[in-house]
Amino acid sequence: MDPQQLFRTMHEAPFILPNPWDLGSAKILAAMGFSALATTSSGFANSLGRVDGAVTREEAIAHAQSIGEATSLPVNGDLENGFGDEPEAVAETLERALAAKLAGCSIEDFDGTSIYPREAAIERIRAAVEVNQRGDSKLMLTARAENFIRGNPDLTDTIERLQAYQEAGADVLYAPGLMRIEDIRTLTSALDRPVNILLLPGGPPIPELFEAGAIRVSTGSAISMAAQSAIVDAARELLGPGSQTFWTNSLANASVVSEALSAKS
């Protein structure tokens, strides 16, 4: 099945969408049995030695395309705010994502400093939808309401924004940062499209998120942060006692990694 159509069909039932940050992590996650992948803007930026938000449109789309080519799985691209404030910039980003044959992508309503005014945010999603509906090839367009994760946990505003993005034609709705299961339940019951929920430390486990109405649970930067943390722990051990416990522990999964990297896409 075509990756775009496969990805669309996957949203008929709950699934986990992990976020690799390079080709190696993508191949490992694919080998572990996940059916689709999503890029992470922060994880990818970190892999280039940069902070989140310091990746260009061209780099982000090429990266997402390379993940798909390395694994043959549908890939959802984290395209941040569409790499521009104006609807025209978002439209151009969608055109390039379609040309790269991504299965899906997300557009957020945060410009790197502040949340876009609601009407401006809606126009940006409308521009993306208009491009997405032009031809036979359509990706799953996710509209993100960022206020919860940007220090403004206003559930009413989040729901109203996502309802407006739904009306504008977004395929998937996403409000990263929700922690309380009752808030997630309220959000999903107020929307008529599949909802993505971000897995968070201290938040509900995945089965509870699915029970609360999430169709898709993504990991964001969690897995890349876990890998970075392992580097820090190893460095501390080397600079401290000078032992190699980190290496001994890693051997437990060495064969899994080797097999995954040896697999053909």
Average model confidence (pLDDT) across the chain: 97
Q: What is the pLDDT of residue 264?
A: 81
Q: Strand 216-218 relative to strand 15-17: parallel, antiparallel, unpaired?
A: parallel
What domains are defined for the chain? 3-221 (3.20.20.60)
Strands 140-144 and 195-198: unpaired
Q: Is 101:109 a contact under the CB 8 Å cutoff?
A: no
Confidence class for position 1, pLDDT limits 50, 70, 90: confident
202 three-state secondary structure: coil
pLDDT over threshold 80, residue 234: yes
Sign of CA dihedral 120, 121, 125, 128: positive
Give CA separation, 35 vs 38, 48, 78, 123, 150, in Å: 11, 26, 17, 32, 30
What are the tokens at 243?
A: 């032992």
Cβ burial of 225 (10 Å; 0-12, 13-18, 19+) is: middle
pTM: 0.96
Q: What confidence tens digit (pLDDT) does each residue in 130-156 have?
A: 999 998 889 999 999 999 999 999 999
The CA distances from residue 230 to 22, 177, 245, 262, in Å, are: 16, 24, 12, 23
- Cα dist. 240→228, 243, 245, 248, 249 in Å? 18, 8, 12, 17, 17
The H-assigned helical ranges of 57-104 are 57-71, 87-99
pLDDT tens for each residue of 176-222: 999 999 999 999 999 999 999 999 999 999 999 999 999 999 999 99
CA dist., res. 144 & res. 138, Å (int): 18
**Residue 61 phi, psi dihedral angles, 5° rounding:** -70, -40
Average pLDDT over residues 121-136: 96
Give me the pLDDT at residue 65, please: 98
The pLDDT of 114-126, averaged and rounded, is 98
pLDDT of 265 > 80? The answer is no
Q: Is 33 left (phi over 0), alpha (psi -120 to 50) or beta?
A: left
Average pLDDT over residues 27-34: 98
